[in-house]
Chains A and B, each alone.
Chain A
Amino acid sequence: MTDEPNLPPDGAEANDLDRVRGFLDAAGEDEATSSSPDGPRPPAPPPGEQNLAMDSYDRRLYEEARAVTGRLGDMLDAEDTPATLESLARDLFTAFYKVQPDLLPEDRVEERPLRANRPFLETLLEDPKTYETRATTVLDELYSAAAATAATQEYLERIADDPALVSPPPPDEPDGPSAADPADDEPGDAESETRPETPKGPSGRALRKAARVVADAALKEAEDLADALDSWGLEPADLKTVPLAERLELAARLRGPDLRRLADLVGRMRNLQRAKAREKVAAKRDEVHSVASGRPDDPARVLPSELSALASKSRVRRLDFLRRFVEGRVLHYELRRDERKARGPIIALIDASSSMSGARMEWAAAVGLALADMATGRGPSGGRSCALLFFNTRIVREVFFDGPDARDPKKLLQAATVGASGGTEYAAPIARGVEIAGGAVRVSFSGADLVLVTDGECALPDGFLTTFLAEKERLSLSLHSVLIGRSGPLPELARYSDEVHALGTAMQGARDAASAIFERLA
């Protein structure tokens, strides 16, 4: 569109071309090396601060992680933070993230981070625990950020206990690593000066010990995170589309103290549910139910009497068998394929009244989340939709696990953070459940099975009950109810439920009830 503006106002064209060529030659190399005599250089990351090679995308990931990881930000922004800690945190992130962390040549690293961090990083990279940690963290920014944060924190604690771990700065830099102001950490200021005799660094043994403890902390953090996400039924693919910042926040919340107990319970429920699903698949293997004439898919299914012909000394019998086999006229066992009956969607109605607070609510939410995991999972019972409806006297929250974002981890949080309050009224949730199961809200929920978890029986108005039973019949719905804290006959729920499970006040029989529900709906 314009030819003129690129020409310098006062420069000769030849000089300009030389500069462009010089720029192009230097492009991709360290930007700091491209000279530009006219005008200042564009803002670029401080050169030479890192001991490990890091590209701009690595840097972007680290900065995003730093911005949302409060713990890391607090450590690095604290007043008494060593000046070289930010550089170390970046290197730690790189060490855990990159497929092959490469130490840069020493002459490409500024003196201060080189002296303070290099020996430790070299030792850390060789530690077996680091290898173990990297099995989880490589190319996963979430795990790398978590591991780097834990490692940085542990390192800070180590150097607080044993300041000798950090090589002291050269004598011309009086600020020790524990007293330096990060703002003073101007890149390149040490390079132009003659390096005085360097003080002695930490011993190899002390470094190895510190590196082991730091790597251990990183490993524990990465494993804890993996366990937590696993408890919630989250897999790397489920988190792929969530931006890193949100993923980190989500991971922090899912691992928070308030949700940790629930996470454990959800994990146990999920294991139970998966075990039930496996049992069911195992029980549904093909079985022999008859004998037929034809050619079986598997020659091993040919009847022994037929096979005896094949083993006969008589050539005629052998050829006769082969002829009949080719023609598809041999007797063989016929298998019955017990096709898995396609299960429909699941709608769990979970009582969130005040009496449910505590263990009851946690159990109910865990069952709901395990059902959601089963319905939306990749296993044999997966590929279905699931909705969790929390209610008291009205619908408090609806969480739909369906469509392409069925396994969106944010939905887990929505379902896991419902507070218990108010009284109990069944009519509203059941009406809503029937409405959803009728396909009125989302088509994917047509013909859903209903699961009701509650701790207080309440009567449905007769008119409502008649309508519900008619709709239940029309839509072929099934309703499985779980009543917590009751024993003895259950006349009310039994009137309209296909089955009712009663749990004791101390949740006795909870496992059996969960097991029965998973078995029914798997």
Chain B
Amino acid sequence: MSTVRELHNQAMELAQRAQVARFEANDPALAVRLAGEAFRYESEAALLVPDTHEAEPTRAILYRSAASLAFQAHDFLGAQRFVMRGLSGYPPPRERAELERLYERIRFSLYLEENRLTVAASFQLVLRGPGVDYGRVAFSEFQSRTNATIELLNRSVERRSGRLYRKHGPMNLQMRPFIPLITPQPPGSFVMSIELAQPEYEQFQQTFLFTLDEIVDDVLTNVDLVFRGERETLRERIPDEGYFRNFIAGAKQIAPDGKVISYVGLSDMKMDVPGTLVQSQIPLVAPTEQLSREIEAKGSSISVKGILDMANGRGTSLIGLMTATGETYDVEVLEGLEDFVKTYFKQIVAVSGFYDGTKIRASDIGPSSAD
């Protein structure tokens, strides 16, 4: 009969080989198989250790190790069983904390499995700046950028599916081929992983002719073009005017503001997109000769600050603005900008554009302070 040491050593050799298969050979199936073999040895070793005070920390470490290997082998119920057994002994504080941490990871993996979700693509969003602490960030800075990122993914799915630009109403989430997941990363700046979990339903596999990896590539490449000011290349990639403006507005919302957030980065396994421009350097609508002529012919340029409110005219693309002195303006928002303008509702915004005496045709709009 093998000893605990012999069984554990065999398990660790296999665990190391599983790591190599996962991270170097990029062979997840082999990694899962090797982790499963390692689990068999490690669980056998753990079961040989008596359930006594004196057996700690060996007992807790071996149960935690066996549970981790079962987790890597995607045997989540087996992993849960070994965590429970490890906790039922007398684990020292450090091992207890590790077992509890692992239990939470297993429970989430079971949730994904029960809902037939698999993580099909992922990328990282990094925020740095005076408004970012060690693994902590102001909620509004986090919320606006994650919402904008998810919105760009939604719109890219619709565009790549050949759908006409949706001018009104929310996306039909039943037809979205992913569920976004957020994972905070070990602190440094504020780093989070955004993962796209794909439902394993046939309807999705038949409906969409692209992978979620391709959608992430598409979004990152296009954000990179906005951040580098290469609008013409972006226009070639997104010829539809609504999708084009919508993308610029989303990328602008993700970009650093230069005050609270000084750096934003997006990255996946293939590319890094550093945020080199700040929001004020990314106009929503690029000034064109035609627009300039219109301004001269029809009105005067204007910059005004106020609270975004309901539009007087209730037109589909009209919003209202009330200044601190009580003046009200109707503001016309171009197609493509609705997703992002609506996030400023009831907030103080700065609007610039040209005013024809009845309404402001906005060329740029963004959050502002009361001063």
* Chains A and B are bound partners: no
